């Protein structure tokens, strides 16, 4: 048997895992959530959610993955001491969810890349129409989204084809530091704008009058999504962690870096919005990055440079996330169907190409084709977020908390008794057992309402 595949360096391991976590959730979802939750009051609640729910569930995924050292389906089948084939279905649900999410996430990655190119060529700032018109043109067009989406699929799979260490690890070890540098540069730019301080004050002073029960549940959901929990990504990646890696340290480092990215985004967005009096503009999702921020860039000297760098940052964040999603699928094909990595990449890539192609056009030329009133993009988004992901996350916590022997979980947390901190590890195990399942149910009910 060949030696198990493992990440080679700690930097690479952290970079790959942070690469998965840091995505559009940090960049285009967090600022809007923070705005509606009263700035720092949301931030405080969010930090609590990361500590109470995020880190323990991340540890549950990691423990399952590292002890099984196989794909998500195999981990569920063999993770509990004896074979439990029925639980394999739960692992398979995670893999299928990752596959379906990667379809529309690759489309979004394509948009960000298209925006980067259009920033460089000047198309975005040629003055023909508002940024909202431009967004419709770029997102709902026919050839643009298609070409860029397919380009992202090819880029994504060329990284996966290169393998875990030579592809995922090496790329992440380059791109993640670059992402942090870019974020810091944008913080400096944003903070140096006239009037920026008002934005900082808004972001960092709590307004508890805006906090409701929904704020807390949204913060829980945001923590879950931002840390990429429930897809089997950490199960898969932890299978590549060496035996000496401390899971607690890794989960904490990754969660804090993910949090840092969200906070830095707040420090970028709120001052910029205050400086240009764009408070009435949307800070949510596509409108924030494709309309509000281009307004900001258009008012800065060297528009094309800032705009291109920002969309580069966004593309990096998105691509490293899609890589982790598709690696879940690849690892499953390799271990379940005994395929070579090459064949697995060709098969998964071959399946994704047409699906992504159709999905990329579902906002434009194919927008007339609907299922249950939703185009393909929205359908995939809703079905995965509203049903598949919550069930898969709940299944994971029940499995690790109740089905997997507690000693197996503890052995992974303590590295077979060599790491100190038993009371903390016990608290983590208790959380996964008793606290996480009801909280996940709560998030689920909130998404359905
Ligand atoms: N964590 C990513 C984000 O914050 C989203 C994501 C979820 C990416 C699941 C991959 C898998 O945007």
**Element (H or E) spanning 62, and its range?**
helix 55-68
Ligand 1, atom 2, residue with closest C-alpha:
23
pLDDT value at residue 111: 96
pLDDT in tens, 290-318: 999 999 999 999 999 999 999 999 999 99
pLDDT value at residue 56: 97
Pocket of ligand 1 (CB under 6 A): 20-21, 23-26, 225-226, 228, 231, 233, 321, 324-325
pLDDT in tens, 314-358: 999 999 999 999 999 999 999 999 999 999 999 999 999 999 999
Residue 305 Cα to ligand 1 middle (Å): 27
pLDDT value at residue 79: 87
Q: Give the rounded percent of residues in the chain with a pLDDT score beyond 70.
A: 100
Ligand 1, atom 10, residue with closest C-alpha:
321
Residue 30 Cα to ligand 1 middle (Å): 12
Ligand 1, atom 8, residue with closest C-alpha:
321
Residue 54 Cα to ligand 1 middle (Å): 13
**Element (H or E) spanning 36, and its range?**
helix 30-36
pLDDT value at residue 447: 85
Residue 446 Cα to ligand 1 middle (Å): 19
Residue 395 Cα to ligand 1 middle (Å): 19
pLDDT value at residue 448: 87
Mean pLDDT of 90-102: 97
Atom of ligand 1 nearest to the CA of 317: 12
CB atoms within 10 A of CB 127: 7
Ligand 1, atom 6, residue with closest C-alpha:
228
Q: Which two tokens stand for residue 49?
A: 């959610």
pLDDT in tens, 190-229: 999 999 999 999 999 999 999 999 899 889 989 989 999 9
pLDDT at 235 over 90: yes
pLDDT in tens, 413-424: 999 999 999 999
Q: Which has the minimum average pLDDT: 1-15, 159-173, 226-240?
A: 1-15
pLDDT at 2 over 70: no
Ligand 1, atom 11, residue with closest C-alpha:
228
Residue 329 Cα to ligand 1 middle (Å): 15
Residues whose CB falls within 8 Å of the CB of residue 53, separated by 6 or more in sequence, listed in order: 220, 223, 224, 431, 435, 436, 439
3 band by pLDDT with thresholds 50, 70 and 90:
confident
Atom of ligand 1 nearest to the CA of 98: 11
Q: Using a CB cutoff of 8 Å and minimum separation of 24, what contacts does 120-127 make?
A: 120/304, 120/308, 122/304, 124/294, 124/307, 125/294, 125/297, 125/298, 125/303, 125/304, 125/307
Report the predicted TM-score, pTM, of the whole model to 2 decimal places.
0.96
Residue 108 Cα to ligand 1 middle (Å): 12
**Please, what is the average pLDDT of the chain?**
95
Mean pLDDT of 158-183: 98
Q: Which two tokens stand for residue 417?
A: 């008794």
């Amino acid at each position: 048997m060949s030696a198990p595949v493992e990440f080679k360096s700690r930097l690479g391991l952290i970079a790959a895992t942070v690469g998965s976590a840091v995505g559009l959730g940090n960049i285009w979802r967090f600022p809007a959530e923070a705005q509606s939750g009263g700035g720092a009051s949301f931030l405080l609640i969010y930090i609590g959610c990361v500590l109470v729910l995020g880190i323990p569930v991340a540890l549950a995924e990691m423990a399952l993955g590292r002890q099984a050292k196989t794909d998500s389906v195999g981990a569920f089948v063999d993770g509990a001491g004896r074979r439990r084939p029925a639980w394999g279905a739960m692992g398979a649900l995670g893999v299928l969810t990752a596959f379906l999410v990667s379809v529309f996430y690759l489309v979004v990655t394509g948009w960000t890349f298209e925006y980067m190119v259009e920033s460089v060529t000047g198309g975005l700032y040629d003055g023909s129409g508002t940024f909202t018109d431009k967004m419709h043109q770029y997102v709902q067009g026919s050839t643009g989204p298609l070409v860029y989406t397919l380009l992202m699929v090819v880029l994504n799979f060329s990284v996966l084809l290169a393998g875990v260490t030579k592809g995922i690890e090496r790329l992440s070890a380059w791109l993640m530091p670059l992402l942090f540098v870019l974020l810091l540069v944008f913080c400096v730019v944003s903070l140096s704008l006239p009037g920026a301080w008002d934005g900082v004050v808004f972001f960092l002073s709590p307004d508890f009058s805006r906090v409701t029960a929904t704020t807390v549940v949204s913060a829980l959901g945001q923590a879950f999504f931002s840390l990429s929990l429930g897809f089997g990504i950490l199960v898969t990646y932890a299978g590549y962690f060496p035996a000496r890696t401390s899971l607690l340290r890794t989960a904490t480092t990754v969660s804090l870096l993910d949090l840092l990215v969200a906070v830095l985004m707040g420090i970028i967005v709120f001052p910029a919005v205050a400086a240009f009096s764009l408070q009435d503009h949307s800070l949510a999702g596509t409108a924030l990055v494709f309309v509000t921020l281009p307004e900001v860039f258009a008012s800065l000297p060297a528009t094309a440079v800032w705009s291109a760098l920002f969309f580069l940052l966004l593309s990096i964040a998105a691509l490293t996330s899609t890589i982790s999603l598709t690696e879940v699928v690849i690892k499953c094909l390799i271990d379940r169907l005994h395929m070579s990595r090459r064949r697995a990449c060709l098969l998964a890539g071959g399946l994704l190409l047409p699906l992504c192609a159709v999905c990329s056009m579902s906002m434009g030329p194919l927008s007339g084709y609907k299922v249950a009133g939703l185009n393909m993009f929205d359908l995939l988004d809703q079905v995965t977020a509203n049903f598949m992901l919550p069930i898969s996350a709940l299944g994971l916590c029940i499995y690790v908390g109740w089905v997997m022997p507690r000693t197996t979980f503890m052995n992974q947390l303590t590295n077979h008794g060599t790491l100190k901190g038993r009371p903390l590890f016990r608290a983590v195990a208790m959380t996964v057992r008793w606290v996480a399942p009801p909280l996940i149910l709560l998030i689920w009910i909130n998404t359905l309402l």
